[in-house]
């Protein structure tokens, strides 16, 4: 449905305070239909809180003041707007035991109470079309969909109520370059219909491709705002310049040394389907291997086999020449500590009812045999190393931003003093400053401790900054390996060229 342009969103002097801590402090902006406004800033800068305020939601116990209007109507928890929400991790909000079409029909029926079945089916079909989600997949369950398909499902859920506004929270987080381009095209098509989009994103390539306006946040305040072309090419504030910092050149050689981690003929199945075929890699002490590939390519299955989270059907994983047991249950404590895994969705990896310190310190109790007081002291020291304070550690996960929780998850893994650390998209959804801090810390760890890193990533900047070697996984097979410099400058396989090509250049005006 094409809409007439006009002011859709008005935010004036928005303040959100939780206890004595201001989460958002005096933010103002406006947005017309058919335009995209990007909120950009470091973790904890207030982006998500503003996005929730646009939807009539607020953190529990927070005090909100100022004005938020959508289509001229004041927004509050009692008066939610005609708006849709696209979350950062679709898998965390999709019901795993219900078919996606059934959930879409339920949402459509909510928006058309008493409507005939034909009317509800028409709304679902229209939303699926606008989200570019094939109707033939509506009978599938979420786990039967790729990451890109799950992203289209949540976009269809946002569209089924025919909103005037969509709040998109990191919609390309964890997506490979091909899927990212598809998500951008889908959002651009929605914008072309006249829908206003507020984009919360750390992916500056996506911001460049979509945004008409950019608002840069720091500690809940606006430090710079204006047309996207001006802010992104000629930033006035030093914080904006830091967020836009250019990554270094890729490495052209890998460090010499004995192989710390090696896989031979590693093969794995999901049910009857073989999803990983004869994967062979060798990574030295202090070396970083980047695994890149599309969603569903098999790279995460490979990493989970190394970590003991998925039993291989054939092949071996060797640590310093010694075979590792295929499952966690069969690995002794020394092997459990030696290989640690940091998951992409840090929030889902924490218990929401216990403090961060309690959960991080348990690693040292279980895997190092420390007493609880000694484990907590060691946990606090490690948390400080990754930039978290004692006050943050005393909070439950809900009190930390996504970036802060990702650092806590990294600290939890490091506390085991591993030989191999597997990082699954741990910088996805992070701003440039937080990403740089995490990568700098990992780089220092491998130099100082000889830590071997296996990094699963879609981010060319991560490969450039951290990787010594790159393995490209395509349809369950490693199709290309080499140094980061070789792979980035002269990729041989078509899958590599598509995944690690030049940054996104799409513009919605084109």
For the beta sheet containing 339-342, the strands, ordered from the edge strand earlier in sequence to the opposite edge, are 339-342, 420-424, 452-456, 288-292, 469-474, 477-483
Is residue 440's pLDDT more than 90? Answer: no
Query: Which pLDDT does position 315 carry in this prediction?
Result: 96
Residue 43 DSSP symbol: T
Instruction: Choose among 251, 268, 292: nearest CA to 454.
Output: 292
Q: Rounded to 5 degrees, what are φ and ψ at 329? A: -60, -30
Task: Assign 331 a pLDDT band (cuts: 50, 70, 90).
Answer: very high
Residues 373 and 484 in one domain: yes
The helix or strand, by DSSP H or E, that contains position 39, with its residue range, turns out to be strand 36-41
Look at 499 and 395; give whichever has higher pLDDT.
395
| Boundary residue ending a domain (242, 277, 304) | 242
Is residue 474's pLDDT more than 70? Answer: yes
**Joined tokens for residue 328:** 């966690």
Please tell me the distance from the alpha carbon of residue 324 to that of residue 505, in angstroms, as a whole number. Answer: 44
CA dihedral defined by 261, 263, 269, 274, rounded to 10 degrees? 140
Query: Which pLDDT does position 174 carry in this prediction?
Result: 65
Is residue 378's pLDDT more than 90? Answer: yes
Is residue 431's pLDDT more than 80? Answer: no
Residues 232 and 271 in one domain: no
- Determine, yes or no, domain membership for 31: yes
Residues 321 and 191 in one domain: no
> Residue 93 contacts by C-beta under 8 Å, 6 or more apart in sequence?
87, 154
**pTM, rounded to two decimals:** 0.62
Residues 236 and 294 in one domain: no
Is residue 246's pLDDT more than 70? Answer: no
Look at 91 and 311; give whichever has higher pLDDT.
311
Residue 61's domain comprises: 7-242
- Determine, yes or no, domain membership for 290: yes
Query: Which pLDDT does position 3 carry in this prediction?
Result: 52
Query: Which pLDDT does position 507 carry in this prediction?
Result: 38
Is residue 504's pLDDT more than 50? Answer: no
Please tell me the distance from the alpha carbon of residue 438 to that of residue 441, in angstroms, as a whole number. Answer: 5
Q: Which of 293-302, 316-325, 440-449 has the lowest mean pLDDT?
A: 440-449
Task: State pLDDT tens for residues 194-242.
Answer: 999 999 987 888 899 899 999 999 999 999 999 999 999 899 999 998 8
Query: Which pLDDT does position 505 carry in this prediction?
Result: 40
Instruction: Choose among 313, 263, 326, 271: nearest CA to 291.
Output: 263
Is residue 265's pLDDT more than 90? Answer: yes
Is residue 464's pLDDT more than 90? Answer: no
Residue 88 DSSP symbol: S
- Determine, yes or no, domain membership for 510: no
Task: Assign 501 a pLDDT band (cuts: 50, 70, 90).
Answer: low
For the beta sheet containing 273-284, the strands, ordered from the edge strand earlier in sequence to the opposite edge, are 273-284, 259-270, 314-319, 322-323
Residues 413 and 363 in one domain: yes
Is residue 446's pLDDT more than 80? Answer: yes
Query: Which pLDDT does position 162 carry in this prediction?
Result: 87
Q: Are 67 and 10 in contact (CB under 8 A)?
A: yes
| Boundary residue ending a domain (242, 267, 287) | 242
Coil, strand or helix: which one is 244? coil
| β-bridge partners, 481 | 471
The helix or strand, by DSSP H or E, that contains position 107, with its residue range, turns out to be helix 100-111
- Determine, yes or no, domain membership for 254: no
Residues 169 and 119 in one domain: yes
Q: From residue 69, how far is each of 3, 9, 57, 66, 324 by CA, in Å?
A: 18, 6, 13, 10, 58
Residues 269 and 202 in one domain: no
Query: Which pLDDT does position 509 carry in this prediction?
Result: 36
Look at 56 and 43; give whichever has higher pLDDT.
56
Is residue 390's pLDDT more than 70? Answer: yes
Query: Which pLDDT does position 453 carry in this prediction?
Result: 95
Residues 233 and 264 in one domain: no
Instruction: Identify the burial level of 29 via C-beta atoms within 10 angstroms of its C-beta, where 0-12 means exposed, 13-18 middle and 19 or more buried.
Output: middle
Query: Which pLDDT does position 255 carry in this prediction?
Result: 53
Query: Which pLDDT does position 70 carry in this prediction?
Result: 94
Q: Are 490 and 472 in contact (CB under 8 A)?
A: no
- Determine, yes or no, domain membership for 504: no
Query: Which pLDDT does position 245 carry in this prediction?
Result: 76
Q: What percent of the chain is modeled with pLDDT above 70?
A: 94
Residues 274 and 393 in one domain: yes
| β-bridge partners, 9 | 31, 70
> Residue 28 contacts by C-beta under 8 Å, 6 or more apart in sequence?
11, 12, 13, 14, 222
User: Within a 10 A sphere around the Cβ of 355, how many other Cβ atoms?
Assistant: 17
Instruction: Identify the burial level of 352 via C-beta atoms within 10 angstroms of its C-beta, where 0-12 means exposed, 13-18 middle and 19 or more buried.
Output: exposed
Mean pLDDT of 3-29: 88
- Three-state secondary structure readout of 406-430: HHHHHHHHHCCCCCEEEEECCCCCC
How many CA atoms within 13 Å lie on the side-chain side of 177? 18
Please tell me the distance from the alpha carbon of residue 356 to that of residue 396, in angstroms, as a whole number. Answer: 6
| Boundary residue ending a domain (215, 242, 269) | 242
Query: Which pLDDT does position 112 carry in this prediction?
Result: 82
Helical H runs in 257-389? 299-307, 333-338, 356-368, 372-385
Q: Which of 13-27, 83-97, 156-170, 246-260 has the lowest mean pLDDT?
A: 246-260
Task: Determine the longest span between alpha carbons in the chain, in angstroms.
Answer: 70
Task: State pLDDT tens for residues 158-180.
Answer: 999 889 999 999 888 767 667 77
- Determine, yes or no, domain membership for 235: yes
Residues 418 and 376 in one domain: yes
Q: What value does the mean pLDDT of the chain take?
A: 88
DSSP E strand boundaries for 90-231: 165-169, 196-200, 213-218, 221-227
For residue 165, what is the domain's CATH number?
Answer: 3.40.50.300
**Joined tokens for residue 152:** 């289209």
Task: State pLDDT tens for residues 92-136.
Answer: 788 889 999 999 999 999 888 877 888 898 999 999 988 888 888
Query: Domain count of the chain?
Result: 2
Residues 288 and 179 in one domain: no
- Determine, yes or no, domain membership for 247: no
Look at 54 and 436; give whichever has higher pLDDT.
54
Residues 377 and 408 in one domain: yes
Mean pLDDT of 392-420: 92
Mean pLDDT of 392-412: 91
Q: Are 331 and 386 in contact (CB under 8 A)?
A: no
- Determine, yes or no, domain membership for 250: no
Looking at mean pLDDT, say which of 114-118, 251-255, 357-361, 493-497 comes out highest.
Answer: 357-361
Mean pLDDT of 38-67: 90
Q: Are 383 and 392 in contact (CB under 8 A)?
A: yes
């Amino acid at each position: 449905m094409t809409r007439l342009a006009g002011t859709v969103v008005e935010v004036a002097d928005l303040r959100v305070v939780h206890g004595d801590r201001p989460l958002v402090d005096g933010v103002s902006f406006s947005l017309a239909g058919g335009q995209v406004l990007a909120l950009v800033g470091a973790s904890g800068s207030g982006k998500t809180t503003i996005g929730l305020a646009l939807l009539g939601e607020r953190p529990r116990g927070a005090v909100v003041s100022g004005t938020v209007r959508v289509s001229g109507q004041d927004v509050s928890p009692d008066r939610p707007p005609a708006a849709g929400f696209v979350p950062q991790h679709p898998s965390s909000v999709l019901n795993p035991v219900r078919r996606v079409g059934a959930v879409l029909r339920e949402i459509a029926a909510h928006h058309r109470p008493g409507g005939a079945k034909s009317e509800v089916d028409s709304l679902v079909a229209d939303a699926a079309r606008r989200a570019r989600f094939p109707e033939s997949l509506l009978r599938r369950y979420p786990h039967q969909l790729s990451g890109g398909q799950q992203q289209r499902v949540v976009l269809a859920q946002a569209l089924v109520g025919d909103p005037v506004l969509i709040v998109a929270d990191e919609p390309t987080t964890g997506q490979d370059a091909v899927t990212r381009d598809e998500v951008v095209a889908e959002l651009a098509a929605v914008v072309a219909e006249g829908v206003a989009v507020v984009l919360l994103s750390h992916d500056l390539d996506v911001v460049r491709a979509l945004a008409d306006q950019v608002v840069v946040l720091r500690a809940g305040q606006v430090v710079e705002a204006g047309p996207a072309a001006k802010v992104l090419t000629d930033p006035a504030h030093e914080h904006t310049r830091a967020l836009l910092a250019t990554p270094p050149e890729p490495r052209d050689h890998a460090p010499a040394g004995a192989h710390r981690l090696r896989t031979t003929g590693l093969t794995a199945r999901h049910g009857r389907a073989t999803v990983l075929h004869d994967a062979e890699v060798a990574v030295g002490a202090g070396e970083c291997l980047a695994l890149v590939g599309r969603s569903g390519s098999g790279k995460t299955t490979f990493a989970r086999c190394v970590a003991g989270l998925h039993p291989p059907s054939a092949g071996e994983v060797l640590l310093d020449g010694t075979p590792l047991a295929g499952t966690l249950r069969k690995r002794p404590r020394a092997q459990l500590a030696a290989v640690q895994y940091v998951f992409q969705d840090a929030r889902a990896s924490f218990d929401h009812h216990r403090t961060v310190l309690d959960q991080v310190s348990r690693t040292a109790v279980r895997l190092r045999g420390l007493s609880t007081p000694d484990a907590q002291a060691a946990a606090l020291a490690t948390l400080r190393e990754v930039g978290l304070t004692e006050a943050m550690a005393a909070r439950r996960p809900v009190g930390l931003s996504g970036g802060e929780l990702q650092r806590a998850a990294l600290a939890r893994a490091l506390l085991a003093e591993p030989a191999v650390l597997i990082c699954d998209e741990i910088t996805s959804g992070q701003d440039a400053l937080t990403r740089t801090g995490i990568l700098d810390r990992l780089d220092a760890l491998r130099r100082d401790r000889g830590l071997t890193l296996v990094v699963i990533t879609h981010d060319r900047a991560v490969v450039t900054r951290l990787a010594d070697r790159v393995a490209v996984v395509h349809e369950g097979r490693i199709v290309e390996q080499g140094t980061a410099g070789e792979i980035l400058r002269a990729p041989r396989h078509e899958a590599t060229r598509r995944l690690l090509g030049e940054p996104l250049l799409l513009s919605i005006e084109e």
